A = this chain, B = another copy of it.
Amino acid sequence: MPGSVGRRRAALLKKPVRPVDVTRVRGLGDLLKQFQSTSIQARNLGRCLEVWENALTDRKRPTILLGLSGPLIAAGLRKVLRDLVDWGVVDVVVSTGAVLYQDLYQSIGGRHWMGSPTADDLMLRELYLDRIYDTYVDELKFEETDRSIGRITDEFPRRPASSREYLGFLGARFPDPDSILATAARRGVPVFSPALIDSSIGIGLTLHYQANRGRKDRFILDAVRDNFELVQILAGSPRTGVIYIGGGTPKNWINDGIVMANYAFGREGEGHHYALQITTDVPHWGGLSGSTLDEAQSWGKISKTATRAMAHVEASIGLPLLAGALWNRRALWRPRPRLKFQWSEDQVRVRRGPT
């Protein structure tokens, strides 16, 4: 073997895989640190922690956006998500409507029940139970939730508004301490849902529309305003980081936001500086949910120099590991100043607030 081969080998063989030793795991933070020296998806999950911690400890204080999709409340992640908002490890939330609807459903007393993925669906239909894989939800309580949302929407100002404004309103009106929306409202964390009409919240909104369509001064979900608000937040942030739980509309929209911001403000801005995703999708179907964070670099959505990681693990397992590790290791990133979003209609200024 010529010396040059030896040197090139040595340059590649720097870090050995270190076997996980579960007899020495002192907590989830410790486990994920161990994962960082393993391989396959454990390593990727460990790197997701590293990316998140890098974003949290960056002295430029990046704005961190959390994208949510999938059956997260059914999966038992409501407390974890609420905690992430409460701890201040995310600054903006972008979610599917379904996640937020199910958050509200719990706020007014609905529950998710342990069921079976092989249940008889026609029997469930008769019993007014709806199945989410291995979980049942109560259609009667859904009706109550929809009616509640409908009633409360009547109190919302009769004018065009973004999903962020409307969701902030809902969060304030259903002040359940375990709620994601309520915690976000209390903490001043903006919550967007760019496809809000595609959810049971949309059902309530449809009824509201139907009842008010004759009026000139009705509440209109002014979808494009969401975009305008998002791009201001991105443009007003020294840096941005993104945390994607699943893919879907939230991932795509947050990523696209960079391109929109560049167009809208005539700048050639950088992409997101920190990016992590846990997903069950794969790159080779070509869709955006499973596309690599490298691919997003070709579009300029992720910065050329971004630290980034993608772990293929379902959120009900992956997210508690990440969140628990962050909590274990909170001395690292605490205290973190919160962002203060100063809204004036559709305009926003992003300020660094107190810790």
Contacts and interface: CB of A to CB of B under 8 A. Distances in A.
A352 interface: no
Interface stretch (A52-60, A181-189, A313-321, A334-342): A313-321
A83 B23 CA distance: 9
Given A16-B111, A129-B9, A39 B76 contact: yes
Contacts of A25: 27-28, 320, 324
Contacts of A248: 248-249, 289
A76 B206 contact: no
Contacts of A132: 39, 286, 291, 295
Contact of A287 (B20, B69, B124): B69
Contacts of A231: 206
Nearest to A287: B70
Given A39-B114, A135-B39, A195-B195, A77 B20 contact: yes
13 contacts: A1-B140, A5-B128, A15-B113, A17-B75, A22-B28, A39-B286, A40-B74, A118-B118, A198-B252, A198-B256, A220-B220, A313-B313, A317-B321
Given A1-B140, A207-B263, A316 B76 contact: no
Give the interface size class of chain A. 35 or more
A198 B70 CA distance: 17
Contacts of A69: 287
A313 B316 CA distance: 11
A244 to B, nearest CB: 14
A284 B79 CA distance: 22
Interface in A28-75: 28, 31, 34-35, 37-43, 45, 69-71, 74-75
A238 interface: no
Interface in A207-225: 207-210, 213, 220-225
Contacts of A22: 28, 79-80, 83, 320, 323-324, 327
> Sorted from nearest, which 8 A-B pairs have the closest CB atoms?
A38-B76, A42-B316, A22-B324, A195-B195, A133-B286, A19-B79, A124-B298, A71-B286
Contact of A285 (B19, B31, B70): B70
Nearest to A8: B127
B286 A75 contact: yes
B227 A114 contact: no
A17 B135 contact: yes
A171 interface: no
A282 B321 CA distance: 23
A202 interface: yes
B220 A206 contact: no
A318 B37 CA distance: 16
A134 interface: yes
Contact of A39 (B9, B112, B121, B253): B112
A307 to B, nearest CB: 14
A114 B17 contact: yes
Contacts of A320: 20, 22, 25, 31, 34-35, 42
B288 A312 contact: no
Interface in A64-106: 69-71, 74-80, 83, 98
